[in-house]
Amino acid sequence: MTACVLDASVAAKWFLPGAGELLAAEAAEILEAYAAGRMRLLVPDLFWPEVGNILWKAVRQGRMARTLAEDAIASLQERGIATAPTAPLLKEAFAIATAFERSVYDGVYVALAVVANRPLVTADERLANALAARYPVRWLGAV
């Protein structure tokens, strides 16, 4: 795989404390490939507040310090990951959400993967199981 749409659940693993964080090594491999120029990443603009929310929740739960979360956000923004607007994806995202009983948020990632002709890589195994037979969705644990 040389290009993919990246789910916030994967990127968050780059920064969450590693002890007990499932699939952290697999997520790190994607980051390393991106940093080395071997992989191109694309995210919807929804990705940014989603990652922020995951980190906020980790701070709130005492899993990481606020300063570490702030550093993670800055580090992520510095990576220059290509970002696509979500508004043009909304109609298809809604159709996916209603057909498969998933959130519109999930539908946005899947719709972007379809439009960009790239697989969506997610750490959400339920999402992958629900949609992989019909859409280019890959679970991080099987990549």
pLDDT in tens, the chain (143 residues): 799 999 999 999 999 876 567 899 899 999 999 999 999 999 999 999 999 999 999 999 999 999 999 999 999 999 999 999 999 999 999 999 999 999 999 999 999 999 999 999 999 999 999 999 999 999 999 88
Q: Give backbone dihedrals phi and psi of 42, rounded to 5 degrees, phi first.
A: -135, 135
Contact assessment for residue 135 and residue 129, using Cβ atoms and an 8 Å cutoff: no
Neighbour-count burial of 94, counting CB atoms closer than 10 A to its CB (0-12 exposed, 13-18 middle, 19+ buried): middle
3-state secondary structure of 130: helix
The domain ranges of the chain are: 3-142
CA 70 to chain centre: 18
CATH architecture of 3-142: 3-Layer(aba) Sandwich (3.40)
